[in-house]
């Protein structure tokens, strides 16, 4: 079985562990072997602490031998985006600014994950400080799309999506500020979910834009995503934005909630700029739900056209504030050429940050500056309120909203690197969900003629993740897109 373990789902691996067909140590060793075999092509990992993963796997096997299994993820490896703090592990955010930083503590999501017995597995590549849509902004390397290594995997959680698609991990965690889970999930042909803002604690997540950031799962199946979400969701006193709400059994709800559902189709998401192959695949998914007895209705989200502009004002403003702490004085990169304290600050930041991070800091500082705050930032916040109202109004009429996740399949490396505006438009269908604070999930719904995955996005009411997962699960059960894997031989 060892040669096939790397493409088994977390649910299947859990059954194998329970039956004694395999041990956690064997699973981890199979993933180490797989990662060594494909990393030169994929480049999903920034670092892998093989010894730590093996030690945790042995601990899981010993617990199971004593009859002390902690739950369905006990002994299952989970890849970690290098923006989440894991005690004793590098925390670099793929930036020179934090190149030598080692985390002294666990993020709440990691602490919860460890409590389930799951095995944290490696540090995954990303756009620097989560600022990007292609993982081309990493200071270390460019991750490849496993379906076509000449293409990008999406971003900013490109490593998290690529490692699951490539069979290097059955599950991974990422963060989503404007689509950074859903967009790479769509481009790499895996499941990716952004939970409702406040459902998963942000404590220990390096901040990009604090009112938008949210941690969420990548998986090969909806059921696996439900298991990982279950592990990390819940209130945390250390996060002032964490919400107190009952956490249902997400996996059990997959079979409890069977529809049919009333599903909304927003006309604003099917206009100019959508690739014909993407629209065809998403329309076919909509027709599937109609054939299952779901009521399909048109809805309108009239302020969607402002979402990208609003997002890139609010996100950059918060980034300019959050990244002020990286000053070259404490735990970050320090310039060796500085003449005095002010020079140290300027040169350290100039050397430590990459071009995209600098661009966003400059833009964010500008929109917050005297004379421009009212004209840009304040207006953006007012527009954000209207965008959220659009979604909440629509969700009173329907159970969920169906849209494309991305306007096109994955593009080639370097294709948009010199055109920030074209790059930013990759988030056109996902950023509004972050502005509204609602949950969203992307699932595979087809392939382009060139063999690249296409994603269907399902958006829903705040804290109704169970409903979204059930709707996504219905589609997945009737199709085989999630069972297909890229050829990396």
Does the pLDDT of residue 1 top 70, yes or no? Answer: no
Domains of the chain with CATH codes? 2-258+440-451 (3.90.1300.10), 305-379 (no CATH)
Q: Quick: pLDDT tens for 113-134.
A: 999 999 999 999 999 999 999 9
Given the residues 133, 157, 180, 201, the one annotated as active site: 180
How many CB atoms sit inside 10 A of residue 258's CB?
11
Is 114 among the catalytic positions?
no
Encoding tokens for residue 352?
A: 């430590």
**Mean pLDDT within 66-85:** 96
pLDDT tens digits, one per residue of 338-352:
999 999 999 999 999
Give me the pLDDT at residue 443, please: 98
CA distance 400 to 394: 9
Q: What is the pLDDT of residues 459-483, one digit of tens each?
A: 999 999 999 999 999 999 999 999 9
User: Residue ranges of the alpha helices (H) in 323-449?
Assistant: 341-352, 355-368, 379-397, 420-424, 431-436
Exactly one of 23, 134, 139, 156 is catalytic; name it: 156
What is the structure's pLDDT at 134? 97
Q: Specify whether 95 is catalytic.
A: no
Is 2 a residue whose pLDDT tops 60?
A: no
Query: pLDDT tier at 3 (50, 70, 90 boundaries)?
Result: low
Note the pLDDT tens digit of each residue in 148-191. Answer: 999 999 999 999 999 999 999 999 999 999 999 999 999 999 99
Quick one: pLDDT at residue 356? 96
Structure confidence at residue 289 (pLDDT): 98
Give the pLDDT band of residue 97 (cuts 50, 70, 90): very high
Cα–Cα distance measured from residue 426 to residue 212, given in angstroms and rounded to the nearest whole number: 17
E strand or H helix at 18: helix 10-19
Question: Which tens digits make up the pLDDT trace of 392-438?
Answer: 999 999 999 999 999 999 999 999 988 888 888 889 999 999 999 99
Span 83-105, average pLDDT = 97
Per DSSP, the residues of 99-163 read TT-B-SS--HHHHHHHHTT-EEEEEE--SGGG--SSS---SS--PPBTTBTTB---SSSHHHHHH
Looking at the predicted structure, is the pLDDT value of residue 272 above 90? no
Q: Return the pLDDT at 420.
A: 84
**What's the rounded mean pLDDT across residues 446-454?**
98
pLDDT at 92 over 80: yes
Q: Is it true that the peptide bond before 156 is cis, omega within 30 degrees of 0?
A: yes
86-104 burial, b if ≥16 CB within 10 A, otherwise e? Answer: bbebbbbbbbbbbeebebe
Mean pLDDT (whole number) for 236-258: 95
What's the pLDDT band for 259 if we cut at 50, 70, 90? Answer: confident
Question: Is 421 buried (19+), middle (13-18) or exposed (0-12) by CB count in 10 A?
Answer: exposed
To the nearest whole number, what is the mean pLDDT of the chain?
96
Give the per-residue pLDDT at 63. Answer: 97
- Catalytic position from the list 23, 24, 60, 81: 81
Q: pLDDT tens digits, residue range 5-59?
A: 999 999 999 999 999 999 999 999 999 999 999 999 999 999 999 999 999 999 9
| Percent of the chain at pLDDT exceeding 70 | 99
User: Around Cβ 419, how many Cβ atoms within 10 Å?
Assistant: 10
81 carries an active-site annotation? yes
Residue pointed to by tokens 């990390």? 232
């Amino acid at each position: 079985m060892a040669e096939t373990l790397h493409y088994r789902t977390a649910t299947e691996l859990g059954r194998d562990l329970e039956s004694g067909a395999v041990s956690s140590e064997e699973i981890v060793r199979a993933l180490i072997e797989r990662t060594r075999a494909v990393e030169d092509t994929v480049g999903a990992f920034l670092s892998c602490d093989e010894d730590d993963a093996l030690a945790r796997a042995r601990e899981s096997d010993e617990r199971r031998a004593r009859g002390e299994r902690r739950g369905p993820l006990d002994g299952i490896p989970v890849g970690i985006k290098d923006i989440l703090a894991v005690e004793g592990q590098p925390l670099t955010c793929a930036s020179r600014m934090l190149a030598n930083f080692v985390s002294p503590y666990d993020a709440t999501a990691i602490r919860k994950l460890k409590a389930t017995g799951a095995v944290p597995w490696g540090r995954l590549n990303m756009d620097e400080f989560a600022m990007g849509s292609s993982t081309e902004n990493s200071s270390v390397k460019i991750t490849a799309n496993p379906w076509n290594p000449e293409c990008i995997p999406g971003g900013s959680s490109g490593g998290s999506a690529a490692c699951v698609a490539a069979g290097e991990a059955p599950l991974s965690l990422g963060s989503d500020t404007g689509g950074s889970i859903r967009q790479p999930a769509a481009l790499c042909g895996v499941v990716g979910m952004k939970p409702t803002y406040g459902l998963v604690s942000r404590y220990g997540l390096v901040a990009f834009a604090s009112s938008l950031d949210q941690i969420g799962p990548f998986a090969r199946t909806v059921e696996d995503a439900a298991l990982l979400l279950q592990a990390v969701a819940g209130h945390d006193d250390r996060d002032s934005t964490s919400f107190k709400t009952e956490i249902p059994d997400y996996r059990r709800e997959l079979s409890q909630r069977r529809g049919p559902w009333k599903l909304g189709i927003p006309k604003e998401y099917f206009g100019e700029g959508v690739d014909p192959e993407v629209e065809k695949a998403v329309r076919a998914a909509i027709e599937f739900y109609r054939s299952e007895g779901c009521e399909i209705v048109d809805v309108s989200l009239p302020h969607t056209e402002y979402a990208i502009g609003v997002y890139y004002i609010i996100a950059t403003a918060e980034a300019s504030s959050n990244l002020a702490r990286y000053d070259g004085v404490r735990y970050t990169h320090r310039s060796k050429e500085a003449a005095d304290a002010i020079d140290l600050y300027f040169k350290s930041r100039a050397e430590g940050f990459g071009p995209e991070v600098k661009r966003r800091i400059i833009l964010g500082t500008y929109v917050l500056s005297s004379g421009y705050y009212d004209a840009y930032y304040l207006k953006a916040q007012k527009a954000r309120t209207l965008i959220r109202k659009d979604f909440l109004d629509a969700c009173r009429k329907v159970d969920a909203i169906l849209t494309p996740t991305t306007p096109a399949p994955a593009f080639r490396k370097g294709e948009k690197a010199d055109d920030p505006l074209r790059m930013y438009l990759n988030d056109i269908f996902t950023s509004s969900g972050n502005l509204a604070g609602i949950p969203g999930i992307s699932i595979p719904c087809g392939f382009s003629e060139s063999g690249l995955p296409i994603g269907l996005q399902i958006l829903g009411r705040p804290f109704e993740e169970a409903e979204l997962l059930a709707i996504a699960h219905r589609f997945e059960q009737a199709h085989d897109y999630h069972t297909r894997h890229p050829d990396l031989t």
